[in-house]
Amino acid sequence: EKGGFDHFMLKEIYEQPSAILDTFRGRMLPNEGIIKMSGIEDNMKTFLNANRIIVVACGTSWHAGLVSEYIFENLARIPVEVEYASEFRYRNPVITDKDVVIAISQSGETADTLAAIKLAKSRGAFVFGVCNVVGSSIARETDAGAYTHAGPEIGVASTKAFTTQITVLTLIALRLARAKGTISSSEFRHHMIELELIPEKVKKALESDAYVKTIADIYKNSNNFLYLGRGYNFPVALEGALKLKEISYIHAEGYPAAEMKHGPIALIDENMPIVVIATKKGHYEKVVSNIQEIKSRKGKIIGIVTEGDEQVKALADHVIEVPETIESLTPLLTTIPLQLLSYHIALMLDKNVDQPRNLAKAVTVE
Ligand code: F6R
Protein backbone atom coordinates (compact mmCIF):
# COMPACT_ATOMS: atom_id res chain seq x y z
CA GLU A 1 0.00 0.00 0.00
CA LYS A 2 3.07 2.20 -0.08
CA GLY A 3 2.67 2.38 -3.84
CA GLY A 4 6.22 1.23 -4.58
CA PHE A 5 7.82 3.63 -2.10
CA ASP A 6 9.90 2.42 0.85
CA HIS A 7 7.98 4.52 3.34
CA PHE A 8 4.65 6.23 3.67
CA MET A 9 6.43 9.50 4.27
CA LEU A 10 8.20 9.36 0.92
CA LYS A 11 5.01 8.30 -0.83
CA GLU A 12 3.17 11.20 0.73
CA ILE A 13 5.91 13.67 -0.19
CA TYR A 14 5.62 12.49 -3.79
CA GLU A 15 1.83 12.66 -3.69
CA GLN A 16 1.90 16.40 -3.17
CA PRO A 17 1.45 17.42 -6.82
CA SER A 18 -1.78 15.42 -7.02
CA ALA A 19 -2.86 16.23 -3.46
CA ILE A 20 -2.58 19.97 -4.10
CA LEU A 21 -4.45 19.54 -7.38
CA ASP A 22 -7.20 17.62 -5.57
CA THR A 23 -7.41 20.44 -3.05
CA PHE A 24 -8.18 23.16 -5.57
CA ARG A 25 -9.91 21.07 -8.24
CA GLY A 26 -13.56 22.03 -8.56
CA ARG A 27 -13.10 24.94 -6.20
CA MET A 28 -11.06 27.23 -8.39
CA LEU A 29 -11.91 28.15 -11.97
CA PRO A 30 -9.23 30.60 -13.16
CA ASN A 31 -10.75 31.10 -16.60
CA GLU A 32 -14.14 32.00 -15.19
CA GLY A 33 -12.51 34.02 -12.43
CA ILE A 34 -14.25 32.01 -9.73
CA ILE A 35 -13.35 30.45 -6.41
CA LYS A 36 -16.20 28.72 -4.68
CA MET A 37 -16.23 26.84 -1.42
CA SER A 38 -19.61 26.28 0.17
CA GLY A 39 -18.29 26.73 3.72
CA ILE A 40 -17.18 30.23 2.78
CA GLU A 41 -20.12 31.21 0.54
CA ASP A 42 -22.65 30.14 3.17
CA ASN A 43 -20.94 32.28 5.79
CA MET A 44 -19.65 35.15 3.71
CA LYS A 45 -21.29 37.81 5.89
CA THR A 46 -19.65 36.43 9.00
CA PHE A 47 -16.23 36.45 7.35
CA LEU A 48 -16.65 39.95 5.94
CA ASN A 49 -17.84 41.35 9.25
CA ALA A 50 -15.07 39.73 11.26
CA ASN A 51 -12.73 42.07 13.12
CA ARG A 52 -10.01 39.48 12.93
CA ILE A 53 -9.24 35.84 12.35
CA ILE A 54 -7.74 33.74 15.10
CA VAL A 55 -6.06 30.56 13.91
CA VAL A 56 -5.71 27.73 16.41
CA ALA A 57 -3.65 24.61 15.70
CA CYS A 58 -0.70 22.49 16.86
CA GLY A 59 2.59 21.40 15.32
CA THR A 60 2.78 21.39 11.55
CA SER A 61 -0.80 22.65 11.28
CA TRP A 62 0.22 25.63 13.40
CA HIS A 63 3.00 26.31 10.88
CA ALA A 64 0.43 26.28 8.06
CA GLY A 65 -1.53 28.76 10.18
CA LEU A 66 1.52 31.01 10.38
CA VAL A 67 1.86 30.97 6.59
CA SER A 68 -1.84 31.86 6.35
CA GLU A 69 -1.26 34.92 8.53
CA TYR A 70 0.87 36.41 5.75
CA ILE A 71 -1.62 35.32 3.10
CA PHE A 72 -4.77 36.66 4.82
CA GLU A 73 -3.18 39.92 5.83
CA ASN A 74 -1.60 40.60 2.45
CA LEU A 75 -4.49 39.59 0.25
CA ALA A 76 -7.62 40.12 2.31
CA ARG A 77 -6.34 42.76 4.76
CA ILE A 78 -7.88 40.91 7.71
CA PRO A 79 -5.80 40.94 10.91
CA VAL A 80 -4.78 37.44 11.93
CA GLU A 81 -3.50 35.95 15.15
CA VAL A 82 -2.06 32.47 15.15
CA GLU A 83 -2.20 30.59 18.41
CA TYR A 84 -1.00 27.30 19.76
CA ALA A 85 -4.28 25.62 20.67
CA SER A 86 -2.73 24.42 23.93
CA GLU A 87 -1.90 27.98 25.02
CA PHE A 88 -5.08 29.56 23.73
CA ARG A 89 -7.36 27.19 25.64
CA TYR A 90 -5.85 28.00 29.01
CA ARG A 91 -5.26 31.70 28.57
CA ASN A 92 -8.72 33.12 29.14
CA PRO A 93 -8.43 34.67 25.66
CA VAL A 94 -10.42 37.71 24.63
CA ILE A 95 -12.87 36.42 22.01
CA THR A 96 -16.16 37.86 20.87
CA ASP A 97 -18.83 37.11 18.31
CA LYS A 98 -16.94 39.43 15.95
CA ASP A 99 -14.07 36.94 15.78
CA VAL A 100 -13.71 34.14 13.30
CA VAL A 101 -11.65 31.22 14.54
CA ILE A 102 -10.03 28.92 12.00
CA ALA A 103 -8.98 25.58 13.46
CA ILE A 104 -6.47 23.64 11.38
CA SER A 105 -5.94 19.93 11.93
CA GLN A 106 -4.91 17.07 9.67
CA SER A 107 -6.36 14.35 11.90
CA GLY A 108 -9.26 16.40 13.20
CA GLU A 109 -8.72 14.66 16.54
CA THR A 110 -6.07 16.78 18.29
CA ALA A 111 -7.27 17.23 21.88
CA ASP A 112 -5.93 20.74 22.41
CA THR A 113 -7.34 22.02 19.11
CA LEU A 114 -10.73 20.49 19.90
CA ALA A 115 -10.74 22.13 23.34
CA ALA A 116 -9.77 25.50 21.82
CA ILE A 117 -12.72 25.21 19.42
CA LYS A 118 -15.15 24.49 22.24
CA LEU A 119 -13.87 27.46 24.20
CA ALA A 120 -14.14 29.79 21.20
CA LYS A 121 -17.67 28.60 20.48
CA SER A 122 -18.73 29.08 24.08
CA ARG A 123 -17.67 32.72 23.78
CA GLY A 124 -19.68 33.29 20.66
CA ALA A 125 -17.03 33.04 17.93
CA PHE A 126 -17.76 31.44 14.59
CA VAL A 127 -15.43 28.49 14.14
CA PHE A 128 -14.30 27.26 10.74
CA GLY A 129 -12.38 23.98 10.39
CA VAL A 130 -9.64 23.06 7.95
CA CYS A 131 -9.30 19.30 8.37
CA ASN A 132 -8.08 16.40 6.31
CA VAL A 133 -9.93 13.52 7.92
CA VAL A 134 -13.56 13.56 6.82
CA GLY A 135 -16.08 13.26 9.63
CA SER A 136 -13.42 13.73 12.31
CA SER A 137 -14.25 15.24 15.71
CA ILE A 138 -13.01 18.69 14.73
CA ALA A 139 -14.87 18.58 11.41
CA ARG A 140 -18.04 17.81 13.36
CA GLU A 141 -17.48 20.33 16.15
CA THR A 142 -16.86 23.35 13.90
CA ASP A 143 -19.64 25.58 12.52
CA ALA A 144 -18.42 25.17 8.94
CA GLY A 145 -15.25 24.13 7.17
CA ALA A 146 -13.28 23.06 4.15
CA TYR A 147 -11.52 19.74 3.78
CA THR A 148 -7.99 19.57 2.43
CA HIS A 149 -8.67 16.45 0.30
CA ALA A 150 -5.03 15.33 0.71
CA GLY A 151 -6.03 11.68 1.05
CA PRO A 152 -4.91 9.56 4.03
CA GLU A 153 -1.67 10.66 5.64
CA ILE A 154 -0.10 7.66 7.37
CA GLY A 155 3.47 8.81 8.05
CA VAL A 156 3.59 10.44 11.47
CA ALA A 157 5.59 13.35 10.06
CA SER A 158 3.08 15.57 8.32
CA THR A 159 3.94 16.45 4.72
CA LYS A 160 1.11 16.62 2.21
CA ALA A 161 -1.25 17.80 4.94
CA PHE A 162 0.90 20.91 5.32
CA THR A 163 0.96 21.87 1.66
CA THR A 164 -2.73 21.16 1.16
CA GLN A 165 -3.62 23.20 4.25
CA ILE A 166 -1.72 26.13 2.75
CA THR A 167 -3.59 25.56 -0.51
CA VAL A 168 -7.03 25.66 1.13
CA LEU A 169 -6.10 28.70 3.19
CA THR A 170 -4.89 30.44 0.02
CA LEU A 171 -8.22 29.74 -1.68
CA ILE A 172 -10.10 31.13 1.31
CA ALA A 173 -7.94 34.25 1.45
CA LEU A 174 -8.34 34.83 -2.28
CA ARG A 175 -12.10 34.39 -2.12
CA LEU A 176 -12.38 36.83 0.80
CA ALA A 177 -10.00 39.28 -0.85
CA ARG A 178 -12.16 39.32 -3.94
CA ALA A 179 -15.32 39.78 -1.91
CA LYS A 180 -13.75 42.61 0.07
CA GLY A 181 -12.23 44.20 -3.00
CA THR A 182 -8.75 44.22 -1.49
CA ILE A 183 -7.31 42.74 -4.69
CA SER A 184 -8.21 43.62 -8.25
CA SER A 185 -9.83 41.11 -10.55
CA SER A 186 -6.59 40.85 -12.55
CA GLU A 187 -4.54 40.14 -9.40
CA PHE A 188 -7.17 37.61 -8.37
CA ARG A 189 -6.91 35.87 -11.73
CA HIS A 190 -3.13 36.03 -11.67
CA HIS A 191 -3.01 34.29 -8.27
CA MET A 192 -5.33 31.55 -9.51
CA ILE A 193 -3.27 30.97 -12.63
CA GLU A 194 -0.12 30.74 -10.53
CA LEU A 195 -1.77 28.33 -8.09
CA GLU A 196 -2.89 26.18 -10.97
CA LEU A 197 0.77 25.84 -12.03
CA ILE A 198 1.91 24.73 -8.57
CA PRO A 199 1.39 20.95 -8.94
CA GLU A 200 3.76 20.89 -11.95
CA LYS A 201 6.25 23.05 -10.08
CA VAL A 202 6.11 20.77 -7.04
CA LYS A 203 6.97 17.93 -9.44
CA LYS A 204 9.99 19.88 -10.57
CA ALA A 205 10.98 20.63 -6.98
CA LEU A 206 10.85 16.89 -6.31
CA GLU A 207 13.52 16.40 -8.96
CA SER A 208 16.01 17.76 -6.43
CA ASP A 209 15.64 14.48 -4.52
CA ALA A 210 18.91 12.85 -5.59
CA TYR A 211 20.89 16.01 -4.93
CA VAL A 212 19.21 16.53 -1.54
CA LYS A 213 20.28 12.99 -0.71
CA THR A 214 23.93 13.85 -1.32
CA ILE A 215 23.56 16.85 1.01
CA ALA A 216 21.92 14.60 3.61
CA ASP A 217 24.92 12.31 3.42
CA ILE A 218 27.35 15.18 4.08
CA TYR A 219 25.52 16.56 7.13
CA LYS A 220 23.83 13.50 8.63
CA ASN A 221 26.19 13.41 11.61
CA SER A 222 25.71 17.03 12.58
CA ASN A 223 24.33 17.56 16.07
CA ASN A 224 22.50 20.77 15.27
CA PHE A 225 20.86 22.46 12.32
CA LEU A 226 19.58 25.99 11.91
CA TYR A 227 16.79 26.85 9.45
CA LEU A 228 16.28 30.45 8.41
CA GLY A 229 13.63 32.18 6.35
CA ARG A 230 11.75 35.45 6.17
CA GLY A 231 8.20 36.49 5.45
CA TYR A 232 6.15 33.66 3.98
CA ASN A 233 9.16 31.40 4.37
CA PHE A 234 9.77 32.00 8.05
CA PRO A 235 7.13 29.39 8.96
CA VAL A 236 8.67 27.07 6.36
CA ALA A 237 11.96 27.32 8.28
CA LEU A 238 10.12 26.32 11.45
CA GLU A 239 8.51 23.43 9.63
CA GLY A 240 11.81 22.26 8.13
CA ALA A 241 13.37 22.21 11.60
CA LEU A 242 10.39 20.33 13.05
CA LYS A 243 10.61 17.65 10.34
CA LEU A 244 14.28 17.08 11.08
CA LYS A 245 13.74 16.89 14.85
CA GLU A 246 10.82 14.53 14.60
CA ILE A 247 12.26 11.83 12.44
CA SER A 248 16.05 12.09 12.68
CA TYR A 249 16.24 13.22 16.34
CA ILE A 250 18.77 15.89 15.39
CA HIS A 251 18.32 19.16 17.21
CA ALA A 252 17.20 21.87 14.83
CA GLU A 253 15.85 25.36 15.22
CA GLY A 254 13.91 27.50 12.82
CA TYR A 255 14.35 31.25 13.03
CA PRO A 256 13.33 34.37 11.15
CA ALA A 257 16.57 35.16 9.29
CA ALA A 258 16.82 38.68 10.66
CA GLU A 259 16.56 37.47 14.26
CA MET A 260 19.81 35.59 13.83
CA LYS A 261 21.87 38.54 14.98
CA HIS A 262 19.86 38.73 18.20
CA GLY A 263 21.29 35.49 19.53
CA PRO A 264 21.51 32.36 17.39
CA ILE A 265 24.44 33.78 15.41
CA ALA A 266 26.55 32.86 18.45
CA LEU A 267 25.95 29.19 17.61
CA ILE A 268 27.50 29.44 14.17
CA ASP A 269 30.84 27.80 13.51
CA GLU A 270 32.25 25.47 10.88
CA ASN A 271 30.23 22.56 12.29
CA MET A 272 26.84 24.19 11.92
CA PRO A 273 24.77 23.49 8.81
CA ILE A 274 22.32 26.31 8.13
CA VAL A 275 19.46 25.89 5.73
CA VAL A 276 18.52 29.29 4.35
CA ILE A 277 15.42 29.86 2.28
CA ALA A 278 16.42 32.58 -0.16
CA THR A 279 13.97 32.64 -3.03
CA LYS A 280 14.00 35.61 -5.41
CA LYS A 281 10.61 36.92 -4.31
CA GLY A 282 10.54 38.32 -0.83
CA HIS A 283 13.38 40.03 1.04
CA TYR A 284 15.95 38.40 -1.21
CA GLU A 285 18.71 40.99 -0.78
CA LYS A 286 18.27 41.00 2.97
CA VAL A 287 18.54 37.23 3.14
CA VAL A 288 21.64 37.38 0.95
CA SER A 289 23.26 39.68 3.50
CA ASN A 290 22.29 37.22 6.27
CA ILE A 291 24.03 34.53 4.22
CA GLN A 292 27.14 36.69 4.06
CA GLU A 293 27.11 37.00 7.84
CA ILE A 294 26.87 33.23 8.20
CA LYS A 295 29.67 32.71 5.71
CA SER A 296 32.04 35.04 7.53
CA ARG A 297 31.49 32.84 10.60
CA LYS A 298 32.24 29.71 8.57
CA GLY A 299 28.76 28.19 8.86
CA LYS A 300 27.85 25.65 6.21
CA ILE A 301 25.17 27.10 3.98
CA ILE A 302 22.48 25.11 2.24
CA GLY A 303 20.47 27.61 0.20
CA ILE A 304 16.96 26.98 -1.08
CA VAL A 305 16.86 29.25 -4.11
CA THR A 306 14.88 30.16 -7.20
CA GLU A 307 15.92 28.40 -10.43
CA GLY A 308 18.76 30.23 -12.10
CA ASP A 309 19.92 32.02 -8.94
CA GLU A 310 23.49 33.31 -9.13
CA GLN A 311 24.04 35.42 -6.03
CA VAL A 312 23.35 32.79 -3.37
CA LYS A 313 25.07 30.14 -5.45
CA ALA A 314 28.27 32.18 -5.27
CA LEU A 315 28.14 32.24 -1.47
CA ALA A 316 26.53 28.98 -0.37
CA ASP A 317 28.11 25.54 0.03
CA HIS A 318 25.10 24.01 -1.69
CA VAL A 319 22.03 25.35 -3.40
CA ILE A 320 18.80 23.51 -4.07
CA GLU A 321 16.67 25.09 -6.77
CA VAL A 322 12.91 25.37 -6.84
CA PRO A 323 10.85 26.86 -9.69
CA GLU A 324 9.86 30.49 -9.62
CA THR A 325 6.37 31.46 -8.49
CA ILE A 326 4.63 34.41 -6.84
CA GLU A 327 5.82 35.14 -3.32
CA SER A 328 2.72 33.92 -1.49
CA LEU A 329 3.01 30.49 -3.10
CA THR A 330 6.74 29.96 -2.49
CA PRO A 331 6.12 27.93 0.72
CA LEU A 332 4.49 25.20 -1.38
CA LEU A 333 7.80 24.76 -3.22
CA THR A 334 10.48 25.60 -0.64
CA THR A 335 9.06 23.10 1.82
CA ILE A 336 9.63 20.17 -0.59
CA PRO A 337 13.45 19.92 -0.35
CA LEU A 338 13.22 20.36 3.43
CA GLN A 339 10.89 17.37 3.68
CA LEU A 340 13.27 15.33 1.52
CA LEU A 341 16.30 16.41 3.55
CA SER A 342 14.77 15.21 6.82
CA TYR A 343 13.63 11.98 5.18
CA HIS A 344 17.06 11.11 3.82
CA ILE A 345 18.92 12.02 6.99
CA ALA A 346 16.55 9.94 9.14
CA LEU A 347 16.90 7.01 6.78
CA MET A 348 20.70 7.23 6.72
CA LEU A 349 20.69 7.28 10.52
CA ASP A 350 18.55 4.16 10.47
CA LYS A 351 15.58 5.78 12.20
CA ASN A 352 12.00 4.68 11.89
CA VAL A 353 10.85 7.30 9.40
CA ASP A 354 7.14 6.52 9.46
CA GLN A 355 6.82 5.95 13.18
CA PRO A 356 9.32 8.07 15.06
CA ARG A 357 9.79 7.33 18.74
CA ASN A 358 7.50 9.00 21.28
CA LEU A 359 5.14 10.40 18.63
CA ALA A 360 1.58 9.53 17.65
CA LYS A 361 -0.22 10.43 14.45
CA ALA A 362 -3.12 11.93 16.35
CA VAL A 363 -2.53 13.48 19.76
CA THR A 364 -5.89 12.79 21.36
CA VAL A 365 -4.76 13.54 24.90
CA GLU A 366 -3.33 16.84 26.09
C1 F6R B 1 4.33 17.12 12.65
C2 F6R B 1 3.22 16.45 13.27
C3 F6R B 1 2.53 17.11 14.44
C4 F6R B 1 1.11 17.47 14.04
C5 F6R B 1 0.32 17.99 15.23
C6 F6R B 1 -1.06 18.46 14.84
O7 F6R B 1 4.83 16.40 11.59
O8 F6R B 1 2.80 15.44 12.83
O9 F6R B 1 3.24 18.24 14.86
O10 F6R B 1 1.17 18.39 13.00
O11 F6R B 1 0.23 16.98 16.21
O12 F6R B 1 -1.80 17.41 14.30
P13 F6R B 1 -3.15 17.66 13.54
O14 F6R B 1 -2.85 18.44 12.34
O15 F6R B 1 -3.67 16.29 13.24
O16 F6R B 1 -4.06 18.42 14.50
Cβ of 246 below 6 Å from ligand 1? yes
**Sequence-ordered alpha helix ranges (H) in 142-255:** 160-180, 185-206, 209-219, 234-248
- Choosing from 9, 60, 82, 169 the residue with most ligand 1 atoms within 8 A of its CB, the one to mutate for a pocket test is 60
Q: What is the pLDDT of residues 119-173, one digit of tens each?
A: 999 999 999 999 999 999 999 999 999 999 999 999 999 999 999 999 999 999 9
Question: Among the atoms of ligand 1, which is closest to the Cα of residue 161?
Answer: 14
Cβ of 59 below 6 Å from ligand 1? yes
pLDDT value, residue 4? 94
Q: What is the pLDDT of residues 36-75, one digit of tens each?
A: 999 999 999 999 999 999 999 999 999 999 999 999 999 9
Cβ of 335 below 6 Å from ligand 1? no
Nearest CA to ligand 1 atom 16: 105
Which of these, 350, 348, 349, 342, lies nearest to 157 by C-alpha position?
342
pLDDT band at 229 (very low <50, low <70, confident <90, very high): very high
State how far the Cα of 317 lies from the Cα of 285, in Å rounded to an integer: 18
pLDDT value, residue 232? 97
pLDDT value, residue 204? 98
Cβ of 158 below 6 Å from ligand 1? yes
The DSSP line for 12-61 is: HHHTHHHHHHHHHTTTEETTTTEE--HHHHTTHHHHHH-SEEEEEE-HHH
Q: What is the mean pLDDT of residues 351-364?
A: 91
pLDDT value, residue 366? 87
- Residue 208 DSSP code: T
Q: How far is the CA of 323 from the centre of ligand 1 (A)?
A: 27
Q: How far is the CA of 54 from the centre of ligand 1 (A)?
A: 18
User: What's the whole-model pTM score?
Assistant: 0.98
Cβ of 61 below 6 Å from ligand 1? yes
Question: Among the atoms of ligand 1, which is closest to the Cα of residue 362?
Answer: 15
261 is catalytic: no
Q: How far is the CA of 188 from the centre of ligand 1 (A)?
A: 31
pLDDT value, residue 26? 94
Residue 1 has pLDDT above 90, yes or no: no
pLDDT value, residue 282? 78
Q: How far is the CA of 20 from the centre of ligand 1 (A)?
A: 18
Cβ of 142 below 6 Å from ligand 1? no
pLDDT value, residue 234? 98
38, exposed or middle or buried, with CB in 10 Å at 0-12, 13-18, 19+? Answer: exposed
* Distance between start and end Cα atoms, the chain: 31
Cβ of 106 below 6 Å from ligand 1? yes
